[in-house]
Amino acid sequence: MNSKIITVITMVMILLSPVEAKKFSFKRQVIKKVEIIGNKTFSDSKLKDQLMTKSNRLLNIFKKRRLSRTNLKLDEKQLKRFYGQNGFLFTEVETIVDYYTMDSSRAIVIFNIKEGARVNVASLRFSGGLPDLNKGLNKFAKKIKEGKSANHDAVLATGFKIRDYYADNGYPFVSVRPQYEFSDDSSEVMISFAIAESCFVYNGDITIIQEGETKTSEHIFRRELLVKTGEPYSRKLNIESQQRLYSTGLLKFVSLKRSGNPNYYRSDSAVTNLRLIITGRNPNFINFRLGIGQDEDFNSVFQPSISWGNRNLWGTGRKLTMSIKNSFQLAKKDEEEERAIKIGDLFSDLEFKPVKHAIEINYIEPWFIGYRMPLSLVAVYEPHNKNPIINKFYDRLSGEASLAREIDRYTSLRFSARVEFVDIHDVNKEEEADFRLEGDNSIRRRLSIDGQRDTRDNIFVPQKGSYSYASLDYVGHYLGGDFNYIKGDFYWSRYRFLFGENILASRFRIGALEELGDKGNSSSDDRFFLGGAKTVRGFAENDLGPKWTYDESPTLDGLPKGGKFMVLGNLELRRSLFWRIGGSVFVDAGNVFFNIKDFKPSKIVSTTGLGLQFFTPVGPLRFEYAFMMQKELDLGCGSYHLTLLYAF
């Protein structure tokens, strides 16, 4: 470095005081302590929860928390915001950093708070705008209540909602300005929203610009648009149109915005053109997948698969996929019997034995007979698969057609029909029906209808909203096949905040199966099961309910056989504890009955327990322990569960 520059820096450092010189340190100070003074209404811990600036703890051995002036500025704003949410509209926050000596690397951060007076809402009013639209504005101001503390964030949010409401009804250039009028002692405030609606706007021409190499017929995109030329402008329909375009799976970028300046043809009306910019995805794709799963007949299996197809056939939005799926079991070489590998087997000759194969073709018609009602056609051929129970090979050919209809953003319906054909090798036609009843080579022919409504804010960690599902299956009977029954299932769950940050999650489920005709029957695969990490957590997986007896089936003695009637209820209180750790307490109740007539309220089994969750990007990893609720409490008889995602 130039000697003259070094001399100048040295002179400046001599002239500066020790405290000021410390500010030029290139290494940020470690935060020894964070203090809050001047607060009267809220505790130190409550306010410290709002801060990004934290003092160091024993856990911060490898990465120290250091002073950041950016964080200090953000903390000042956050504290003022927190007070503003609770009625303190005049709060001031000053940050003081207490440095030690010049050679010290530690600092104390002090937040000095001047709370001011708490302000209550005296009245709320709307001025300007249109009388017809203003009639519905009170629903946006539910958090602004007369006689309660003023909430500055709620006022701003209400202003944005009013602006969006006008923009949804043809006034995209509306101006909404919140105003405060305080009483003489500043203890009360009258809140008003001044609305200037500007002019009414119609949609003009809609221009579509396709970027990238792939070109698709404009008709495919225009039919997804909810905005139409000549209709009133709507911000909401613009957003929903973009969501519909993304849902086609054809695009990786969508932008629908106003283009150019509006054309005014009267003092109170205008027309604005729209421009849709889209970037398509490559229509051809190929996917590889390798998984490990559980199989009822072969225990753990490796499941490699490959699929390839075109998501935009001939630029029409239609999709065609072909997949090859296989399952392999790790088994002892030259051993015909399929069984689970033990530790001792790892030192012997092992090989991967193919146990299941499938070729699948899937075709999707996104707009069936001119309606946004996707038709999915699936054909699956399973050649030379083995049924270890009867020690026979079989071929299966199945086909399924389904129609889906989106009722609104949260609700959808689906109707499907499925047929199957099975050919068991080396078996007489007269005996084939009996052989099909054993293992995974039965024939089911099915008509199904189901619907769901999902208003959850997050599917992995829901905090509010609800999810409901209902289905009805008609199997066999007049359709043919090996089983004949009708089956109904209803599921409902709800999530809401309770006493602050606690989340109360509740669920109810009920299902029934009725066998049809003189030859009515069902298998364990068709019936209901309870018990385990997703249902009644005081029991092992599927261990609650009827079981096979030796007289019914010696090979299945003691195993769950499922029931034809099921009822389930869950109640769970969830809370974030610290860092990425959460805790829960829950009560599960329910049971499975082999016949509907066997149901008695006194036979409902209840379990309770505690859980811990570690929140990951793909959902909570949870560990739970549950035990039965009975007169003589025995904690040692409970069940442990370790799994991903909440039970519901």
CATH of domain 120-196: 3.10.20.310
Q: What is the pLDDT of residue 551?
A: 83
First to last CA, the chain: 65
Quick one: pLDDT at residue 435?
81
Q: Which residue has the tokens 């997050």?
A: 458
Looking at the chain, the whole-number percentage of residues with pLDDT higher than 90 is 66
Poorest-pLDDT segment among 2-11, 258-267, 616-625: 2-11
Distance, in Å, from the CA atom of 511 to the CA atom of 488, rounded to the nearest integer, reads 6
The pLDDT, as a whole number, for residue 6 is: 41
Q: Select from 422, 416, 469 the least CA-distant residue to 444.
A: 422
Cβ-Cβ contacts under 8 Å for 135 (sequence gap 6 or more): none
- Comparing 11-114 with 200-280, is the CATH topology the same? yes
pLDDT per position as a tens digit, 514-561: 999 887 889 888 999 999 999 999 888 888 999 988 888 777 788 888
- Residue 16: the pLDDT is 42
Q: Has residue 23 got a pLDDT over 60?
A: no
What pLDDT is stored for residue 17 in this prediction?
A: 40
For 463, the token pair is 């905090």
14 falls in which pLDDT band (50, 70, 90)?
very low
Computed on alpha carbons and rounded to an integer, the radius of gyration of the chain in Å comes to: 33
CATH class of 484-648: mainly beta
* Residue 338: pLDDT band with limits 50, 70, 90: low
Q: Is residue 85 over pLDDT 50?
A: yes
Q: 204-228: string of b/e by CB count within 10 Å (b at 16+)?
A: bebeeebeeebebeeebbeebbebe
Q: Identify whether the C-beta of residue 529 lies closer than 8 Å to the C-beta of residue 536.
A: no
Domain limits, the chain = 11-114, 120-196, 200-280, 484-648
Give the residue among 386, 340, 425, 389 at the shortest CA–CA distance from 553.
389
| Rounded Cα distance, 494 and 452, in Å | 14
Task: Please give the average per-residue pLDDT across 285-295, as a whole number.
Answer: 81
Two structure tokens written together for 324: 């090859």
d(CA 397, CA 395): 7
Q: Per residue in 499-517, pLDDT tens?
A: 888 999 999 999 999 999 8
Mean pLDDT of the chain: 88
| Region 466-480 average pLDDT | 95
Q: Can you give the pLDDT at residue 548?
A: 86
Q: What confidence tier does 293 reach under pLDDT thresholds 50, 70, 90?
A: low
Contact between 598 and 577 under an 8 Å Cβ cutoff? The reply is: no
**Could you give the CA distance from residue 507 to residue 490 in angstroms, rounded to a whole number?**
11
Q: Comparing 4-8, 232-236, 277-281, 571-575, which segment has the lowest mean pLDDT?
A: 4-8
Q: Which two tokens stand for residue 227?
A: 């905005």
**pLDDT, tens only, 559-568:** 888 999 999 9
Which CATH topology does 200-280 take?
Ubiquitin-like (UB roll) (3.10.20)
For range 357-373, the mean pLDDT: 95
More confident residue, 633 or 160: 160
Pick the CATH number of 11-114 from 3.40.50.300, 3.10.129.10, 3.10.20.310, 3.20.20.60: 3.10.20.310
A 10 A CB-CB count for 572 gives 23
Q: Residue written as tokens 């018990």?
A: 531
Crossing angle of helices 152-168/69-85, nearest 10°?
80
Could you tell me the two tokens for 383? 């050649």
This prediction's pTM: 0.78
Surface-to-core class of residue 238, CB atoms within 10 Å of its CB (0-12 exposed, 13-18 middle, 19+ buried) = buried
Confidence of residue 3 (pLDDT cuts 50, 70, 90): very low
Does 632 score more than 90 pLDDT?
no
Q: What percent of the chain has pLDDT over 70?
A: 89
pLDDT tens for residues 246-255? 999 999 999 9
Instruction: Determine contact, residues 176/195, Cβ cutoff 8 Å.
Output: yes
Residue 7: per-residue pLDDT: 41
